[in-house]
Amino acid sequence: MSVSTPLTLFLTQLLGSAPPPVRDWWASAQRLQLQRGQPLLQAGDRWQHLWWVERGALRLYYLDSEGAESNKNFFLDGSMLWPVTPWLRETPAMFHVEPMEDATVLWALPWPATGGPATTWPAWASLEHRTLCALLDGKMQREQEFLQLGARQRYEKLVRERPQWADRIPLRHLASYLGMTDVTLSRVRSELGLIKG
């Protein structure tokens, strides 16, 4: 009998009762507690786990040839991320993943063999489909924002749609995600009355 963990409870609530092979897979997850800046995944590593953030915050970012960081995404409490396509699992990562907060708690679930009972369970296949759709929608929306919205509009949209990000993510990381400098974001926040003079 598998022991319940915060991850298995989350997945059961999300997907319903799982068949025994899937429950055995879920039970193989390891609990990790990481400090701010401690690498979870580095460029060149193979991404072989599903991660669920029980408490804390992760950021996924790229480094350019000169070492400048560019934030791609953030994952706060209750978020799940995994290499959803075969290419992401089989190709060395081109990005980094690390915590932004001390005492970030997450669960690392080893990715099962392709075609095994865990990955062919219909509820899991449905989750993968929903996740891929959400990723594509997010990429399309982000592209539209960069092409059609100014810096202030992009920040206002983020505050409106992702208030947790605005509250918890350091401004320098938000600026990078929004495609602007720290100075530009400070100016935008000042225009919006968010900086007391």
Tens-digit pLDDT profile for residues 54-76: 999 999 999 998 989 999 999 99
Parse the chain into domains and list their residue ranges: 6-116
pLDDT at residue 2 in the model: 60
The angle that helices 122-148 and 6-15 make with each other, rounded to 10 degrees, is 90
Given a contact cutoff of 8 angstroms between Cβ atoms, the answer to whether 40 and 51 are in contact is yes
C-alpha span between 116 and 75 (Å, rounded): 28
Q: What percent of the chain has pLDDT over 90?
A: 84
117 or 4: which carries more pLDDT confidence? Answer: 4
pLDDT at res. 196: 59
Sorting pLDDT into bands at 50, 70 and 90, what band is 117? confident
Which of 146-150, 153-157, 189-193 shows the lowest mean pLDDT across its residues?
189-193
* pTM for the structure as a whole: 0.92
Residue 83 pLDDT more than 60? yes
- If one counts every other C-beta atom within 10 angstroms of the C-beta of residue 181, the result is 13
Predicted confidence band at 50 (pLDDT cuts at 50, 70, 90)?
Answer: very high
User: For domain 6-116, is the CATH number 3.30.70.270?
Assistant: no
Q: How confident is the prediction for the chain on average, in pLDDT?
A: 92
* The pairing of beta strand 96-99 with beta strand 57-63: antiparallel
Q: Is the pLDDT of residue 161 over 70?
A: yes
Give the pair of three-digit tokens for residue 39: 């690498």
Alpha-carbon distance of 84 to 165, in angstroms, equals 23
Q: Tell me the CA distances in angstroms from 59 to 114, 124, 177, one per residue in order.
A: 27, 25, 10
Residue 123 has pLDDT above 70, yes or no: yes
The per-residue pLDDT for 127 is 92
Tell me 18's DSSP state.
P
